[in-house]
Amino acid sequence: MRMARQNYGFNKRQRELAKRQKKEEKAQRRQERKEAGITEVVVGVDEYGNPIFADVGPDGEPIAAAETADATSES
């Protein structure tokens, strides 16, 4: 009696489809950010040497700081 064998081709295809979908979603998010005029700027480096990014609007102001200022003024 033979045991059922793993279908590695199916698993590989599923991984490839997941990668492709993730790549398309990322490209869509980038396009939406580009249309909104939002860009990323390197504001520093963490202890491991990785860049730290901040979102900047078309006027050059950091978006996170503007949202925080709006939240504090409403309180």
Q: Does residue 12 fall inside a structural domain?
A: yes
The total number of structural domains in the chain stands at 1
Beta-bridged to residue 44, according to DSSP, are: 52
User: Which residue range(s) make up the domain with 50?
Assistant: 8-74
| 63, part of any domain | yes
What's the pTM value of the predicted model, to 2 decimals?
A: 0.50
Question: Which ranges in 1-75 belong to alpha helices (H)?
Answer: 8-36, 63-74
How far does CA 67 lie from the centroid of its chain?
A: 19
Q: Which residue has the higher pLDDT, 28 or 56?
A: 28
Spatial distance between the Cα atoms of 58 and 56, rounded to a whole number of angstroms: 7
12-41 average pLDDT score: 90
Mean pLDDT across the chain:
80
How many Cα atoms within 13 Å fall on the side-chain side of residue 23?
6
32 falls within a domain: yes
Nearest 5 degrees, angle CA 8-CA 14-CA 18? Answer: 145
Average pLDDT (1-18) is 91
Instruction: Tell whether 3 is covered by a domain.
Output: no
